[in-house]
Structure 1
Amino acid sequence: MKKLAIIALALFIQTAFAQVNRFVYQVTMKPDASNKSDVKTENAYLDISPEKSVFYSENRIKRDSVMQATFQSGGARSFNREQMQGLRSNINYSVEKDKKSQKMTFKDRIGRDVYTYEEDRPLNWKILSETTKIGDYKVQKAETDFGGRKWTAWFTTDLPYQDGPYKFGGLPGLIVKAEDDKGDYSFDLMKNYKIDDFPAMNQFGNTIKVKRGDYVKQQKKFQEDPMSFMTQGGGTQIRIGGDGGPRGGGGGNPPADFRKRMEERVKDEAKKNSNPIELQ
């Protein structure tokens, strides 16, 4: 009986530690440089396991769920465009941190494909003596310069994690709050709970691995000439989806009216996102 009890305890501990801890952050953004009064707010998840952590938009998971249900119930005919519009996100990227290798991978969609790069800039924190309390946590202040912004973070050692939202981490505790000195971006921990595992994320289009500098160039090129990323033979020879056709169709260039609408939409989006989280 004693041996069985030990085995049961070992299995319980293994199961407990196998769970993923989800931290929900409220992300506040002023993405339009010409209209700082346009404040966007949405939730994002930081899911942490002993092996890795992943930071991404809550709306992404909700969108994936809606699309999955749409495909299972008859495809485009049952597609709820209004519902999908309501789940649009300003956080179209994800950040994965590998605990063992200490590598950080950034993924973002450009056009119909996902560009991914390994972050090559270390975070050099200055830990200050100032402490306070945020919610239930005693926190300590730290500062760093990253991506052209000066950031202030508040971290806690009340939780057994050395991580944080976005690309932030490397402090002796979990980051409860982070904000830049201009007040354009902030991340505030709202709550946390356990989940069974990391959610499966739908992946549309090709995944293209690049250096960070190449990603920045491609992002700028997309804003200037979005249609070169939507056609065969344009831009960097990137094909739409896995088979080269728009929305899974055949090859060739999209119709002129589609091109015009797409160009107008992307240029409008670029204007609304003229104040990115990283300025350099």
Structure 2
Amino acid sequence: MKKIALIFLGLSTQIFFAQANRFIYQVTMKTDSTNRNDIKTETAYLDATPEKSIFYGEKRLQRDSLFTRMRQTNGASFDRSQIQNLRSNIDYTVEKDFKTGKNTFNSRIARDQYSYEEDRPMEWKILPETAKIGEYKTQKAETDFAGRKWAAWFTTDVPFQDGPYKFSGLPGLIVKVEDSKGDYSFDLKETKKIAEIQNFNQSGNVVKVKRKDFVKQEALFRKDPLSFMQAAMGTRGGGGISAPQSRGSMRTPDPNQRRQMETRMAEELKKNNNPIELN
């Protein structure tokens, strides 16, 4: 009986470590600095194993599931309103490799996917202040990152030195992190076991660039989004890097359609003037 119990214990331990953990965060964002009453709230997931993690928006997962069903039904289940409802301000993923220390940011600019490795170390100052957040005993830490001052609350009760977005490097899981201006906040709401971490299959080519080149491309898009999208059809992109191969062709719209597109894009970008990273 003792031998059977030990075998059972061993199997149980293997099953536990074979599983991944999903940490579910509520993300609060004020993306329009001219209208601070416009507060956007979304749900995001941090899927983690002892080797790696990925942070992404819940709507991204729902959108990918919708597109999968569309492909399986040859477009019969296409519903434009569903896609509109799944538009998200968390239109990126952050992948961390704990073995190599690499922190990879993936996001779309216009029609194409870009990827870069974060090159700025996150230096924390751990403070003596403690607090009980939900069921966790937490301790406070602060850092300056990408133009914002951040305060984080981490717990050593969870054996993951990780957190939402690009935040990591504390001796425990980050339960809450917010910037000093109150523009962005990540709050842990739930944890659960999952079979494996989410794996997103990127459609089309993913352009791997340096972070500074990604910033340049993003600035070019914000300055003139329609011209940027048309220029991306060429063999070279802005900033001296190779442009990705766009999916399908993009015809030049007639003047009226172009003005409508420019107006719509300009309005969207105007309201999205307070990004999480200021520099």
Same fold (TM over 0.5): yes
Q: Which residue of 1 aligns with 2:249?
A: 245
Distance in 1 between the 2:94 and 2:149 partners? Answer: 20
Q: What is the deviation of 1:265?
A: 2.7
Measured against aligned partners, the alpha-carbon deviations of 1:197-242 in whole angstroms (never above 9, x if no partner) come to 122324233200111111111001011122234332287144322x
Match runs of 1:24-173 below 5 Å: 24-75=24-75, 77-173=76-172
1:113–1:204: 8 Å Cα contact kept in structure 2? no
Residue aligned with 1:78, SS? coil
1:125–1:144: 8 Å Cα contact kept in structure 2? yes
Q: What is the deviation of 1:258?
A: 4.9
Alignment length (residue pairs): 272
* 2:246 aligned with 1:267: no
Unaligned runs of 5+ in 1: 247-251
Match runs of 1:5-16 below 5 Å: 9-16=9-16
Residue aligned with 2:14, SS? helix
2:207–2:244: 8 Å Cα contact kept in structure 1? no
1:33–1:274: 8 Å Cα contact kept in structure 2? yes
Measured against aligned partners, the alpha-carbon deviations of 1:35-70 in whole angstroms (never above 9, x if no partner) come to 111100000000001110100001100111111112
Distance in 1 between the 2:51 and 2:227 partners? Answer: 38
Match runs of 1:211-230 below 5 Å: 211-230=210-229
Counterpart amino acid of 1:23?
Answer: F
Counterpart amino acid of 2:97?
Answer: D
Counterpart amino acid of 2:36?
Answer: K
Distance in 2 between the 1:204 and 1:182 partners? Answer: 36
Using the size of structure 1 for normalisation, the TM-score is 0.90
Counterpart amino acid of 1:82?
Answer: S
Q: What is the deviation of 1:196?
A: 0.6
Question: Quick check: 63-72 or 124-133, which moved more?
Answer: 63-72
Measured against aligned partners, the alpha-carbon deviations of 1:88-130 in whole angstroms (never above 9, x if no partner) come to 1100011111010011000110011111111011111110000
Q: Which residue of 2 aligns with 1:233?
A: 234
Q: CA RMSD for the aligned pairs?
A: 2.0
2:220–2:228: 8 Å Cα contact kept in structure 1? no
Q: What is the deviation of 1:6?
A: 5.0
Question: Quick check: 259-268 or 203-212, which moved more?
Answer: 259-268
Distance in 1 between the 2:135 and 2:246 partners? Answer: 48
Using the size of structure 2 for normalisation, the TM-score is 0.91
Distance in 2 between the 1:210 and 1:188 partners? Answer: 31
Unaligned runs of 5+ in 2: 238-242
Q: What is the deviation of 1:185?
A: 0.3
Q: Which residue of 2 aligns with 1:277?
A: 276
